[in-house]
Amino acid sequence: MMKSATVFVIFLFFCILFLLMFRSSLILQTRSLPEILFASTWNPDNKQFGLGAIIIGTILVTGIALLIAIPISLFSAIYISEYAPTKIKRIIRPFLDVLAGVPSVVYGLCAFLFLVPLVKDVIAPWFNIQSTGLCIFSAALILAVMVFPIIISLCVETFTAIPLSLKEASLSIGATKWETVKKVVFRASSPSIIAAILLGFGRAFGETIAVNMVIGGIPRIPNSVFSPGETLASLIASKYGELMSIPIHESALMLVALILFLVVFMFNIFGVIILRRAKKRWNY
């Protein structure tokens, strides 16, 4: 039974892959892949399917989200694993699991109601920039919030698995608690931290609904982080209904889906491989 289920999952994976490759072949027959990836104009009405500006928007949103999420997640994980009382740990761990399971549309709605006005009225004016709040920065902030539970949970699991003897050896030679964390816990956990970041990247890169609700939906190269933009995932969500009746448009969106599928798959595979090696090393 388990073997059949595994075979079915693998079969489903390749079905999706071949379906996306087949449906995106039409656009690749008329244009080269580099032309599509590096052209900056997305205007299907004029038969322009350049993804350059959208890829830049995707990289900006994902990069800013990870820049915000990584340090906050690491400090939170250190506090939970090394400093927090046992009672606090018992409360926080299930709370993180709940946060990881909240539907992305709920995050998007909260961001639209509270984050967008905050960016429009407070954060952007603080930099002397006018913004509607529907912008790259708002999308990055909500993505960072969505990535927190993944990175924190994986890092806490790793930090608590570090053998106590390593920490005691560091403390016994006069190192402080913080020095032990920096020079022993962080160093020993570095592969798992990288794996957690890669898995968080996969979540951020492929997130669709929450980003689509706050990014502005304009496929052009942004002037600043407070400008509206578009990501690969939000492009599919926003254009799916209106373009799917035209074969070349449908094929272009299928190519975008194929790119997303391959990138997220690749980063998740790297993350899982590194995480398994770390688990095998520390036996957790």
Residue 202's pLDDT is what?
Answer: 80
pLDDT average, residue stretch 99-105: 85
CB neighbours of residue 259 within 10 Å: 19
Predicted confidence (pLDDT) per residue in 146-186, tens digit: 888 888 988 888 888 888 888 888 888 878 888 888 888 88
Assign 279 a pLDDT band (cuts: 50, 70, 90).
low
Please tell me the least confidently modeled range out of 38-42, 144-148, 209-213, 277-281: 277-281
What is the distance between the alpha carbons of residues 138 and 234, in angstroms, rounded to a whole number?
Answer: 14
Q: What tokens were used for 79?
A: 């506090």
CB neighbours of residue 280 within 10 Å: 9
Assign 258 a pLDDT band (cuts: 50, 70, 90).
very high
What is the distance between the alpha carbons of residues 191 and 279, in angstroms, rounded to a whole number?
Answer: 10
Predicted confidence (pLDDT) per residue in 206-244, tens digit: 777 888 889 888 888 888 899 998 898 888 888 777 666
**Alpha helices, DSSP H, located in the chain:** 2-23, 25-30, 33-38, 52-78, 86-101, 104-110, 116-118, 124-126, 136-161, 164-172, 177-180, 186-206, 209-214, 232-243, 247-282
Furthest CA-CA distance within the chain: 70
| DSSP run (H or E) holding 123 | none
DSSP labels for 28-88? HHHS-HHHHHH---EEGGGTEE--HHHHHHHHHHHHHHHHHHHHHHHHHHHIIIIIS-HHH
pLDDT average, residue stretch 68-81: 90
Contact present, 245 and 270 (Cβ < 8 Å): no
Selection from 203, 188, 199 nearest residue 270 by Cα: 199
Residue 234's pLDDT is what?
Answer: 87
Which residues are paired to 42 by β-bridges? 49
pTM for the full predicted model: 0.86
